[in-house]
Amino acid sequence: MQRWIRPATAEDLHQCVYIAGVFHDGSQFAGVTDYNPSDAYDHAVHCLNNPNRFFMVYEKNSEVVGFFIATRYTVPWNRKQWISAEDLFFILPEHKSPRAALRFFKAWEKWAADLGTHHLLFNPTSFVDHNVDRWDGFCHAIGFEAGGKSYKKVLRHAD
């Protein structure tokens, strides 16, 4: 069985859009936002080959089963200092793998460090309520520290 973490290509985008839909349906965004595959595809195209976007896929037996997108941007108070935040990270439930997650995070960290990024931000949003302790343990094991708390307030549900 071959498993790879590699840069996304244009050929991967339709599968990534499918995976994003599975993520949406199981996340806190389901019922609050509508999933629009066309918009998801356009976003994926925008992320592809963007020097400030990290866009990698997890391929298992020649099939893309997960992806990770992060953005790199300057802090508001200093245009020479960069942070990178995870935008969307998801592996199809039947292919979940702590080893693949670790590879994604290590590749993201290397990409960001090679570009002189100061720190990484990760805020898991899907399936977290059932796995908070596992995410905490994983993040702490790879050097992340708790750095605040995320709150949400739904102002409008999906139409």
pLDDT at 153: 78
CATH of the domain at 32: 3.40.630.30
Is residue 18 included in any domain, yes or no? yes
Tens digits of per-residue pLDDT, 57-106?
999 999 999 999 999 999 999 999 999 999 999 999 899 888 899 999 99
pLDDT at 26: 83
- Expressed as residue numbers, the domain containing 107 is 3-141
Number of structural domains, the chain? 1
Is residue 9 included in any domain, yes or no? yes
Is residue 126 included in any domain, yes or no? yes
By residue count, the chain amounts to 159
pLDDT at 134: 77
Is residue 150 included in any domain, yes or no? no
Q: Does pLDDT of 151 surpass 80? A: no
Is residue 17 included in any domain, yes or no? yes
Place 159 in a pLDDT band, splitting at 50, 70 and 90: low
Is residue 19 included in any domain, yes or no? yes
Residue 69: name the closest of 92, 43, 94, 95 by CA: 43
